[in-house]
Structure 1
Amino acid sequence: MRREDIILETSLGRLLEAYADHCRRNGLRESSVQLYRKLALRFLKGLEDAGVIEAAGIGPHEVSCACLALKSNYYLSAIHTFLRFLTEEGYTQRDYSCIVPLFKRPQPMPPVYSEAEIRRIEAAVDRQGPHGKRDYAALLLATRLGIRGGDIATLTFEELDFKRNTICLTQQKTAVLLSLPMLPEIKAALLDYLEHERASSDSAYVFLSLKPPFSHISVHLLGKLTSTAIRSAGIVPGGRKCGPHAFRASLASSMVNDDVPYEVVRNTLGHTDGSGAGLRCFSFPRPTSRRTFETRCRITLFPDDPESNRDLPGTPAAHTGTMPA
């Protein structure tokens, strides 16, 4: 039986829907709700296989059996949360989350590409190919600004302001507004794609597929074009990832090693965790600081502060949703 075909045959199914509603009430995005629901479903199926037919029958032995049936230790944290929910809502009299071992994901060295490698990757894109201008513009959004793949794939014209040179979007992962400067090389690449390659379509999305009905590109396609560029550049990834997300790590690493404050790095990447703890793993010995990102960060963080930007060219103003002429 495939995991997506799992069907609960007892009253435990009611717990699943109650948990999903609980997650929504607590402000989780629908994608997160579905993830937690899927993991709870697998756990509940394990309880059924252990002979449980209702919430009252859940005990330490059944919980242990269901946990052992899970395919990955990464699921245990979500099961821990689910069991606490059952107790808090009165479905179980005892909190069995205490018998579920806590498992933390290891924190490996981030998959960083050097500045020289990123330049080679960008240059490896064949901009004269049938979709080269699209791929190049999308790639620059990842390498130069660290925008997530999902946000690049669904970028709309409303989020681009070519007059004020800003990109203002609501992140899919966090639902938090992110405002970034439209760097000159990114603006040039976007206009080159829009004027010379993009299909004639009234779609609100910027990056379109090559064939009708011209839907927006997928995150999978972004990963494919990124790995193709890395391979064409003659770079051996080793243990590094090859998707657009790897460039977020590269950007964070360069900024941290340029002594850019963690708060500025956090705002640039659109992180919602204010502690900055998640960024500290990106600091490791690198060549002498070149202040590569100082100007962009100052413009991003202090767009309307003339004192902070008194020696900088053009400060981007607020987003107006302007499309190119």
Structure 2
Amino acid sequence: MAILPSQITGVSMETFEELIKQCIQHFERQRFSTGRINMYRFLWLKKLMPYMIKESVPYYDASVGEKFLRTIVTGDIISRYQDDIIRSVNFLNEFQETGTISSHHFKPLERELSGPIGLAMEQFLLHLGALRRTQKTVSEYRRALYRLFIYLESKQIQCLQAISETHIVTFLSTSTNNKALIISSIRFFLQYLHKEHLLENDLSLVFDGYKYSRSEKLPSVYSKSEVLQIEASIQRSDATGKRNYAMMLLATRLGLRASDIAHLSFSNIDWEESTITLCQYKTGNDIKLPLLTAVGEALIDYLKYGRKNSESDKVFLFTIAPFSPMTKSSVSNMFCRIIEASKVDVRGRRHGAHAMRHSLACRFLENKESMPVISEALGHRSTETTMSYLRIDLESLNQCALHVPPVSSSFYEQKGGVFYE
């Protein structure tokens, strides 16, 4: 019997364990795996409960879980361990509030910006919206500002006037991930504060002498034999293997991005015409691809013998209860794990869905396909985007190399060779 919200609002330490017990029983009824249930039990009893005891928190509610998460996740890069903790807290909060758990995936961590500094940050984000910045861009700015907000909070900075150049420089020195985004976001925010007379000094000037260069990188590609080795390494004896193999072929044979694989619906597949037609999640452009025999057979094998019963129109589902649709991040993580386990040497190369897309482009170039054909196959808006792949066509680049004529020894010996000593 599920707990009623009125029975458990404000759970004391004594009944906190009972809440956990009831939630675990719900997991068991929903056919969650034993390993996952044990993981959640461990996180609740060995991580969350010690936090409550340390902070002398007598009752548990969603606000306690939120404060606990803020001690665990401080940046915008979330590890798998942090992912599990966020998921466990969101499950517990939902069960405490409703007596059930409706979804498998977790809600994004709320990045609450409070106090005078947080209010100024929220006003700045509204300003970005007025400038017609996209929602994605505003979210990226929020992540960057949240990192600065947490840093200032840790230094007990409560108002804008207390922020100094030293704080900004020190914050930058502690930032390692997405540094270019952090710099541009904080600079624009500080310029906004000065322009709106919220800050007397223009602290953005601290960035004038700061240079952050990002070196040009070649796309990571894998040879045909390596791609075949990766595909063959997937064990297709169970539901997870059948699903993963079908998703992998969509990337290696058709060049689909992780986001498009995750969002693939039954309506996108025309079995009679043997085509896949979809609107690309990244670009919003429509693309029509042939449903290759190997890809079609992999999809049929998964749909007949691997996919769980679900009312979802998405093709690919998680293989653990409650069997919700896959997400972009889960597809990307799956690709990384498969490629790492395939024993292909990945040193110095990225190993995700996009690497498989780059590798397919490389096969096109090896087969002397024209730029328009490659552009259409990959769903690029223009051939200019496709031109970036020319950097990995080493065979054609070698053909463009000019022959360097030999230089006689007399050239180096002229005037006694004093210029070449």
TM over 0.5: yes
Q: Which residue of 1 aligns with 2:314?
A: 205
- Whether 1:129 and 2:242 are equivalent positions in the alignment is no
Bigger Rg, structure 1 or 2: 2
**1:207 positional shift:** 0.8
Deviations 1:205-236 (A, max 9, x none): 10112233221124454345434544564422
Q: Which residue of 2 aligns with 1:177?
A: 285
Could you tell me which of 267, 275, 279 is aligned with 2:388? Answer: 279
CA contact (8 A) 2:157 2:163 kept: yes
Of 185, 192, 199, which aligns to 1:78? 185
Q: Return the letter of the residue paired with 2:184.
A: S
CA contact under 8 A between 1:252 and 1:279: conserved in structure 2?
no
Give 2:93's aligned residue.
none
Assess if the C-alpha contact under 8 Å between 2:371 and 2:383 holds in 1: no
Distance 1:95 1:270, change over 3 A: farther
Relative contact order, higher structure (CA 8 A, sep 6+)? 1
Q: 1:250 Cα shift? A: 1.4
Whether contact under 8 Å (1:154, 1:205) holds in the other structure is yes
Instruction: Measure the CA separation in 2 of the matches of 1:28 and 1:177.
Output: 20
Counterpart CA distance in 1 for 2:290 and 2:193 is 48
In 2, the alpha carbon distance for the partners of 1:87 and 1:278 equals 42
Q: Partners of 1:124 and 1:34 in 2: how far apart? A: 38
The whole-number CA distance in structure 2 between the counterparts of 1:266 and 1:81 is 35
Q: What CA distance in whole angstroms lies between the structure 2 residues aligned with 1:231 and 1:9? A: 42
Equivalent residue, structure 2, for 1:316: none
CA distance, structure 1, for counterparts of residue 220 and residue 200 of structure 2: 45
Contact preservation (8 Å) 2:289, 2:377: no
**Corresponding residue for 2:350?**
241
> CA contact under 8 A between 2:255 and 2:378: conserved in structure 1?
yes
Q: Which residue of 2 aligns with 1:15?
A: 120
Separation (CA, whole Å) in 2 of partners of 1:29 and 1:281: 31
Distance 1:135 1:213 in 2: 18
Match of 1:64 in 2: 169
- What are the residue-to-residue correspondences of 1:16-55 with 2, within 5 Å? 16-26=121-131, 28-46=133-151, 53-55=158-160
Shift of 1:190: 1.8
Structure-2 separation of matches of 1:66 and 1:30: 26
**SS of the residue aligned with 1:250?**
helix
Matched, 1:144 2:249: no
Q: Does the 8 Å contact 2:317/2:326 carry over to 1?
A: yes
Instruction: Give, as a single letter, the amino acid of the residue that structure 2 aligns with 1:165.
Output: S
For the Cα contact (< 8 Å) 2:188–2:204, is it kept in 1? yes
Cα distance in 1, alignment partners of residues 147 and 336 from structure 2: 33
> What letter is aligned with 1:181?
L
Q: In 2, are the aligned partners of 1:47 and 1:65 still within 8 Å (CA)? A: no
Corresponding residue number in structure 1 for 2:214 = 105
Kindly state the Cα deviation for residue 13 of structure 1 after the two structures are TM-superposed.
0.9
Structure 1: how far apart are the matches of 2:260 and 2:296? Answer: 17
Q: Which position in structure 1 is the counterpart of 2:273?
A: 164
Q: Matched residue of 2:394: which SS?
A: coil
* Contact 1:12–1:44 (8 Å) recurs in 2: yes
RMSD: 3.7
Distance 2:131 2:153 in 1: 27
Alpha-carbon spacing, 1:20–1:165, altered in 2? closer, same or farther (3 Å): farther
User: In the aligned structure 2, how far is the partner of 1:51 from the partner of 1:277?
Assistant: 49
Q: State the 1:143 CA deviation.
A: 0.8
Unaligned runs of 5+ in 1: 289-325
Separation in structure 1 between the aligned mates of residue 132 and residue 282 of structure 2, nearest angstrom: 13
> Aligned partners of 1:188, 1:146: CA distance in 2, in Å?
17
Which structure carries more helix by proportion? 2
Partner of 2:37: none
- Matched residue, 1:222: 331
Q: Which residue type is aligned with residue 120 of structure 2?
A: L
**CA distance in 1: counterparts of 2:333 and 2:113, whole angstroms:** 37
- For 1:139 and 1:192, the matched residues in 2 are separated by 14
**Aligned with 1:168: secondary structure?**
strand
CA gap of 1:41–1:211, structure 2 versus 1, over 3 A, is closer
Partners of 2:340 and 2:151 lie apart in 1 by 43
CA distance in 1 between partners of 2:340 and 2:111 (Å): 39
Displacement of 1:248 after TM fit? 1.8
> 1:182: how far off?
3.0
Change (3 A) 1:203 1:105: same
Q: CA contact under 8 A between 2:111 and 2:143: conserved in structure 1?
A: no
Q: Residues 259 and 276 of structure 1: is their aligned pair in 2 closer, same or farther, counting only changes over 3 Å?
A: farther
When residues 16 and 259 of structure 1 are mapped into structure 2, their CA distance, relative to the original with a 3 A threshold, is farther
Is 267-276 or 246-255 further displaced after alignment? 267-276
Closer/same/farther in 2, CA of residues 49 and 203 from structure 1, 3 Å limit: closer
Matches within 5 A, 1:259-274: 260=369, 262=371, 265-271=374-380
Q: Distance in 1 between matches of 2:390 and 2:198?
A: 40
- 5+ residue gaps in structure 2? 1-70, 76-109, 398-421
Change (3 A) 1:193 1:62: closer
